Amino acid sequence: GDGGPLLGTAPLPPAALLLPAAQRVAVVYDPAVAAQDAVRAPAPGTAERQAAVVAAVRARLTRPDATLTERAALAGWDRGTR
């Protein structure tokens, strides 16, 4: 990307807040940073782009206006990668 913030919105039904945290998931897909499937080799630079996105998200969460969705998504990511 252009190095700018990763921004977006989506509707959230109020009932979603009643789900256990482990069942609340925000899925973001961008083919420029998505891992390639096992059939194809990763595109050159994929790992670097993914690392840049993760770094941008971690930096975003240091801001006071980070949303609950952003914080929950990173918490789930951290649990899944340890």
pLDDT in tens, 10-66: 677 778 778 777 776 666 656 555 555 544 566 667 778 778 877 887 788 778 888
Residues 6+ apart with CB under 8 A from 1: 32
pLDDT at 40: 57
Q: Is 72 exposed, middle or buried (0-12, 13-18, 19+ CB in 10 A)?
A: middle
CA 42-30-80 angle, 5° bins: 75
Token pair of 75, please? 């918490």
Dihedral-angle region of residue 45 (phi above 0 means left; psi in -120 to 50 means alpha; beta otherwise) = left
pLDDT at 8: 66
Domain definitions of the chain by residue range: 46-82
